[in-house]
Amino acid sequence: MEERTRILDQYGARVYKNRKEHVVQVENAPSNQSIAANSRSVPGIMTNRGCCYAGCKGVVLGPLKDVAIITHGPIGCGFYSWGTRRNKATPVDGRNFLEYCLSTDLQEPDIVFGGEKKLKQAIREAVGIFHPKCVMICSTCPVGLIGDDIQAVADWAQQEFSIKCLAFSCEGYKGVSQSAGHHIANNGLMKYIVGSGDAPPAKRFSVNILGEYNIGGDEWEIARILKRIGYDIVATFTGNGSYETMKNAHTASLNLVQCHRSINYIAEMMKDKYNIDWIKINFIGLGAVCKSLRDMAKYFGDPDLTARTEAVIADELSEIQDDIDYYREKLKGKTAGIFVGGSRSHHYQNLLADFGVHTVIAGYEFAHRDDYEGRGILPNIKEDADSKNIEQLHMQPDEKHYRMIVSKERFEDLKQEIPLADYGGMIHEMNDGNMVIDDFNHFETLELLRLFKPDFFFSGIKDKYILQKAGVVSRQMHSYDYSGPYAGFRGAVNFARDISMGLNVPVWGYVTPPWKTEPTLTGRLTHP
């Protein structure tokens, strides 16, 4: 495939060997191609990834509005994770801790003599000023290196102040990206918070929303729709979320999983521990929202709920129909590239397609193989004759990686569970010639621009301005460039408005992208 070769051929042998596994050009769509993912970035390469601490503190814990989260480390880590991730929340009793950035601000002497004293002092101050019911401590790299015992400090704080205090050893260097941090945060929330409340069982149509972080107010729009239909939202993990609601999350009837990458661990653990089913939903994109609402109604199987679902869908769609038609006319036939963390690059393809925009290049920073390749059950369920009571489930798409050997009993359970948990990956849904790239870097980004010339490039902070300077409309899909919400029905219109403005703004008349003045094809003369 031409474009893939043209990018990879520019690498030296060692980098080529590594990157070739992470760069796929789609063939024979719907494709079952595989991709390497969730592995170490090439040292020195300009990756867009973040670290384990970012995934734990910044992403999963960060949005909890009634928890005093203290970053134990140099001030830059606390400040960056506070200022960058766009956590928004409705205050409770006029208070919202998200407005504050709490850190121990470790200095060289603390690295030499230890930082535990400073951490205790920070907790004492946070408790004195904010009176939180829950404090969380998150470690950065140096803390792991000098060996501060943050767990012991947390135990001390629980006794001293009669509060809940959780310690997360999420040093940045653990794992290969934010992804390890998600897992650490999920484990802590599950072990110490979920199930610790004593609320009575929630109402009949009660749900938790997992993996929804209220970027740009998405959670507010989703909650608006669900409440109209008659759902009771027990807890959201963790956008606009709180310690108080999360304690009783175990009382909900169903878990809805929006960002699978960051929260699948909790969905699975709640199934095991409380027998709460989970379904994969997606509230980004009109078709996806309607399908998700219908899947939820199907799950509960109540005729009134189903009727209300259809009535709300019809009403919401009619409210926005004129806007949708207007923006579709402006946007149809355009092309896009989308590279975000671990789930949006897939979800937003649905929304773009609603307006006739084709995604031709896409990828994630730190997704795992199942996010690219999908997860589902293949029809060939085999029985292993030699091992009594043993069944094998062959999971898509690569048996080598997804083969599970389970007991007969568990197999019956899984057959029930898997169709619900089943979801398609990015590669299956892209067309021939499209590129899918894992852990994309700045060099590849510029090459993709030259080769595909997309009308839009959606990505993050670290590459936004190089794209813009190259004359391409770039939208920051982590913070929506401070716009939003983009989820749900009304969010779809906001999104279309923003990208349409980006395309039609007169500034592009003043920018000349390099390919308008320089040749884009280069060749080397090998025979004089």
Which among 362, 330, 349, 213 has a CA at the least distance from the CA of 288? 349
Query: Residue 462 Cβ, how far from ligand HCA at the closest point, in Å?
Result: 5
Query: Residue 84 Cβ, how far from ligand HCA at the closest point, in Å?
Result: 5
State yes or no: is 527 an active-site residue. Answer: no
Query: Residue 54 Cβ, how far from ligand CFM at the closest point, in Å?
Result: 7
List the one residue from 215, 252, 352, 393 that touches ligand CFM (CB under 6 A). 215
State yes or no: is 85 an active-site residue. Answer: yes
8-state DSSP, 59: I
**Based on the number of CB atoms within 10 Å of its own CB, is 465 exposed (0-12), middle (13-18) or buried (19 or more)?**
exposed
List the one residue from 217, 342, 425, 471 that touches ligand CFM (CB under 6 A). 342
State yes or no: is 138 an active-site residue. Answer: no
Q: What is the CA radius of gyration of the chain?
A: 24
Ranked by CB distance to ligand HCA, the top (closest) residue is: 460
Region of 64-72, 209-217, 294-302, 486-494 interacting with ligand CFM (CB under 6 A): 209-217
What would the x/- binding string for ligand CFM be over residues 58 to 87, using CB under 6 A?
A: -x-------------------------x--
Longest Cα separation, the chain: 83
Considering 19, 49, 85, 261, which one is annotated as catalytic?
Answer: 85
Considering 51, 170, 362, 487, which one is annotated as catalytic?
Answer: 51
State yes or no: is 182 an active-site residue. Answer: yes
Q: Which does 261 bind (CB under 5 to 8 A by kind): ligand CFM, ligand HCA, none?
A: ligand CFM
Q: Which is nearer to ligand CFM, 33 or 264 (CB)?
A: 264
Q: Which does 342 bind (CB under 5 to 8 A by kind): ligand CFM, ligand HCA, none?
A: ligand CFM
Query: Residue 195 Cβ, how far from ligand HCA at the closest point, in Å?
Result: 28
Ramachandran area for residue 444 (φ above 0: left; ψ -120 to 50: alpha; else beta): alpha
| Site residues, ligand HCA (CB under 6 A) | 50, 54, 58-59, 84-85, 178, 341, 460-462, 478-479
Q: Which is nearer to ligand HCA, 185 or 377 (CB)?
A: 185
Q: Which does 344 bind (CB under 5 to 8 A by kind): ligand CFM, ligand HCA, none?
A: ligand CFM
> Taking a C-beta distance cutoff of 8 angstroms, is the pair 241, 65 a contact?
yes
Interface with ligand CFM includes 222 (CB under 6 A)?
no
Query: Residue 75 Cβ, how far from ligand HCA at the closest point, in Å?
Result: 16
Considering 37, 52, 54, 235, which one is annotated as catalytic?
Answer: 54
Residue corresponding to tokens 């734990």:
56
**Count of C-beta atoms within a 10 Å radius of residue 111:** 15
Kindly report whether the peptide bond that precedes residue 238 is cis, defined as omega within 30 degrees of 0: yes
Q: Which is nearer to ligand HCA, 11 or 213 (CB)?
A: 213
How far is residue 312's CA from residue 230's CA, in Å, rounded to a whole number?
Answer: 10
Decide the pairing of beta strands 254-257 and 277-280: parallel
Q: Which is nearer to ligand HCA, 228 or 462 (CB)?
A: 462
How far is residue 106's CA from residue 112's CA, in Å, rounded to a whole number?
Answer: 11
Considering 4, 49, 182, 260, which one is annotated as catalytic?
Answer: 182
How far is residue 442's CA from residue 180's CA, in Å, rounded to a whole number?
Answer: 23
Query: Residue 189 Cβ, how far from ligand CFM at the closest point, in Å?
Result: 14
Which among 395, 341, 390 has a CA at the least distance from the CA of 368? 341
How far is residue 431's CA from residue 28's CA, in Å, rounded to a whole number?
Answer: 8
Query: Residue 215 Cβ, how far from ligand CFM at the closest point, in Å?
Result: 5
What stretch of H or E contains 232?
strand 232-238
List the one residue from 343, 434, 476, 494 that touches ligand CFM (CB under 6 A). 343
Interface with ligand CFM includes 261 (CB under 6 A)?
yes
How far is residue 223's CA from residue 246's CA, in Å, rounded to a whole number?
Answer: 16
Which among 511, 504, 362, 521 has a CA at the least distance from the CA of 428? 362
How far is residue 317's CA from residue 285's CA, in Å, rounded to a whole number?
Answer: 12
Give the start-end residues of each E strand in 387-472.
Answer: 390-393, 404-407, 435-438, 456-459
How far is residue 426's CA from residue 436's CA, in Å, rounded to a whole number?
Answer: 8
Query: Residue 1 Cβ, how far from ligand HCA at the closest point, in Å?
Result: 28
List the one residue from 241, 285, 341, 425 that touches ligand CFM (CB under 6 A). 341
> Taking a C-beta distance cutoff of 8 angstroms, is the pair 376, 32 a contact?
no
Q: Which does 151 bind (CB under 5 to 8 A by kind): ligand CFM, ligand HCA, none?
A: none
Name the residues that contact ligand CFM, by CB under 6 A. Answer: 55, 59, 85, 178, 211, 213, 215, 259, 261-262, 340-344, 478
Which residues are the active-site residues?
51, 54, 85, 182
